[in-house]
Structure 1
Amino acid sequence: MNFDRIKEKLEILADAAKYDVSCSSSGSNRKNTKNGLGDSSGMGICHSYTEDGRCVSLLKILLTNHCIFDCAYCVTRRSNDIKRAAFKVQEVVDLTINFYRRNYIEGLFLSSGIFKDADYTMERLIKVAKKLREEENFNGYIHLKSIPGASDELMREAGLYADRLSVNIEVPTVSGLKLLAPEKKHEDFIKPMEKVKNEIIQFKQEKKFIKSTPKYAPAGQSTQMIVGATGESDRDIMYSANYYYQQYNMKRVYYSGYVPISSDPRLPTITSQVPMLRENRLYQTDWLLRFYGFDIRELLNNHHPNLDLDIDPKLSWALRNQHLFPVNINTADKMMLARVPGLGMRSVYKILQARKYRKLNWEHLKAIGVALNRAKYFIICDSRLWEKKDWTANQIKSKIIKTSSSKFRKDYSTQLNLFDHAS
């Protein structure tokens, strides 16, 4: 094995994979010192979080950055003048096993540019996973990217070896895809999603009667959208996300801010990537849809097509619906409590349990961990220390922003003081 060439490939194909956020990756540069165990500074190593909150390290690479398509937003598009590389199947298998044995990683996230055609590329991705499972007896986590347009037969086989499958929808709307990736067809993205959804449903049904039924993509499927490459509103983006959650049983939809990589006239003329705050607001909206019982039409609609960057989407909704507030913290049902700004689901459950034994006042709520700087404008409790005033939505918004800004400055100042003392 030519180690210098393998290292060069790893540098190129790990860097190209960084634009895919659908494995919940985050950076780290913790190094191995004093003969410790593991090292997170290696190229291509990212971090993902399991359902129970555990952080796992993954080798995140492309099989190749060669691609037959010329999508305007993609760094690996065929017209881009970049250094190209491709791993052999066995090279990826060896890298994964060697990294795993050194305790660098606990799994593999493997994507690829499309070379020759969709099925040829998907076959090679599957070969990697199959070799790891059957020849190396590897039981770590494997996430394979589904190649748009891959056959149903290959998608079924992929799910037998991978823990999670995902196909990136890339652009949120069909019109946006036609503009920036005219060589691709929207139905090519949908086809593998539909197959994976149906196979997961079939596995669950067969498992009820045949315990030995082979697992199929036990971690489900996910997708990713590029935010800011076209002119979609937040409403367009989140309505698309909601559709994929409902129609294809997605585990997660990820939102990736567009990173300017070319001067293509079809792309927005911005000098930096889409503000992280917009991504954050989209993820917050996603969370409200999945865990807080909100309907997408409540948060975004024709009258409110974009999210407020100054405040979170739950607070924005509450300010637009002041006629529903204040709610009595001691009598309101779970779903209404979940809609109160400053109340997370953990606090909601604590309130429901605590009020079985006594009526709650402001001190109780503070002890529970309620963010009273926001919640106090929307609730009443067993206390008269604070009563809702007849403030307008703009006044409440201004007060909350001012309080939040003051808290940030205070926390930042405290950190600086601690740093001064430490140094």
Structure 2
Amino acid sequence: MIKTELGTLRRSHYSNELNPSMDGLEVTIMGWVLTIRGHGNISFATIRDKNGDIPIVAKKGDCPDELREKLSILKAHSSIAITGRIKSSEKAPTGFEIIPSELRVFSDVEKIPPFEPLAKTVKNIDTRLEVRPIDLRRKTLQHIFNARSQVLKSIRDYFYQQNFIEINTPKMIATATEGGAALFPIFYYNKEAFLAQSPQLYKEQLIMSFEKVFEIAPIFRAEPSRTNRHLAEAISVDLEEAFVDYNDVMNRIEDIIKIAIVTVSDYAKNNSDVEFIIPSKPEHIPRYSYDELIEKMQKAGAKTEWGDDLYPSNLKKIGVEGFYFIKDWPLGPKPFYVKDSKTNPKISESFDLMFGDLELSSGSTRIEKRHELEERMKNKGMKTDAFEYHLGAFDYGVPPHAGCGIGLERLIMALTGTENIRDVTFYPRDVDRLTP
């Protein structure tokens, strides 16, 4: 009647597979205890599995006394299985309840979490992160990560439909991908190596063989930023394509954004308790040049000059909102592989995708000629010898190409109205956090 081992017992149904029309059917459900309430000779429990909640009613005379007594003293988060029969009930939120006949308690709770499992919000995110597996049981986060999973699937489906091939590139590298100091050094046997800032150089090489490639994988940036939108380890959706330029890549991103919005909207429609703030799907994502925005900022009274970064405070002053591209940035600060404009050598064929003042993506047309790459690297004070493995590929005919990286976590923030990037990351890594 009450056991503690799984044995041969297996779940017969998930919560979303049960309904009142199954009245009288014996089922086995598994999950963890969400709530327990006792009223004399009757105990009410709610069991949550990956798909939802299941009401349990243990009443004297309807189920064994031993089972009812054990159920009544279980703590929230206990992991259990219940076998019982479905009974339709107009009073139950689901339209039915389960009358238990067998209980298995796989694990009793040793500690009480520092927040309620039903809480929609818990102010101290560090408290939540310390018990992240329990935090992720809350409905708010369940919806975020289920929607995130659906978005990833829709993005992958788009790439496969467009004849891209999925790649995997090394995350331990010998030299900096983009130069600069934002690197995590590691010991690689008896030599120094680095965690990859991006798959940039590898995906450029791979378009020589496959033309259209994408990767969804971690990137590592050692930036000392303590904001609600920066991570040291993030997931990047990278694409690279041969025989196109940055305009074609912006078209790709526009497709992806529209697909992602539809995906999240559909998820919300199928889950009535979702509280996402979902942006409306744009017919077309506006494309502003860097020069155009600088001029608008100056007219709005912002202290900015050509060559300055476009700071969030200044973007707010000119009222740009929703999704939009900023293109044709000054070439100077851009990575060595970004191509310059045919009409103005001080301008790059590059873009950022923004959502309000939040940067979601960065991309460009790439340089396809070795001598131009070497000249750019030298101008940036980089040692070309350290990149010979990459430069050597350009001796064999690299086609014109372009690509970008999209920050998955920031995209999910934009799609769901989430303010803190840690709430769209399973286990965040930042300046202050290396655990759990």
TM-score normalised over the length of structure 1: 0.24
Structure with greater Cα Rg: 2
Q: Which has the higher strand share?
A: 2
Q: Which has the higher helix share?
A: 1
Higher relative contact order (CA 8 A, sep 6+): 2
